[in-house]
Amino acid sequence: MAEMQYLVSVIFDETSGFATPEEMTAIDEFNDGLRADGSWVFAGGLAAPDTATVIDNRGAGEAIVTDGPFVETKEHVAGFWIIEAPDLDVALKLAAEGSRACNRKVEVRPFL
């Protein structure tokens, strides 16, 4: 079966703070593991939602630029992995390791 790709979003909630040095080390180790077994596609951390800018260029005139995230929520995506896995079971297992490493909830969604 062809490999599938999954977006693993790291969810920042009320209980989260900035990543601690221990968490950063654990994340690095987890990333090394992903690369070693061929599951790695991409990963990155995101700046806080209040740094976001929304652009809407669907209209006839100039693009409308808005300061701030498109939706205000208590929880937001703080970073993500894109991983490759043969099926959801493998993806969930990797996501569970990722959640442990970064000490946050994660959400797994398949790419189309």
Contact residue for another protein among 4, 24, 41, 43 (CB under 8 A): 4
46 close to 79: Cβ distance less than 8 angstroms: yes
Contact residue for another protein among 38, 45, 68, 86 (CB under 8 A): 86
Q: Residue 20 carries which DSSP code?
A: P
Q: How many residues bind another protein (CB under 8 A)?
A: 13
Q: H helices then E strands: how many in the chain?
A: 2, 6
Is 63 near another protein (CB under 8 A)?
no
Is 11 near another protein (CB under 8 A)?
no
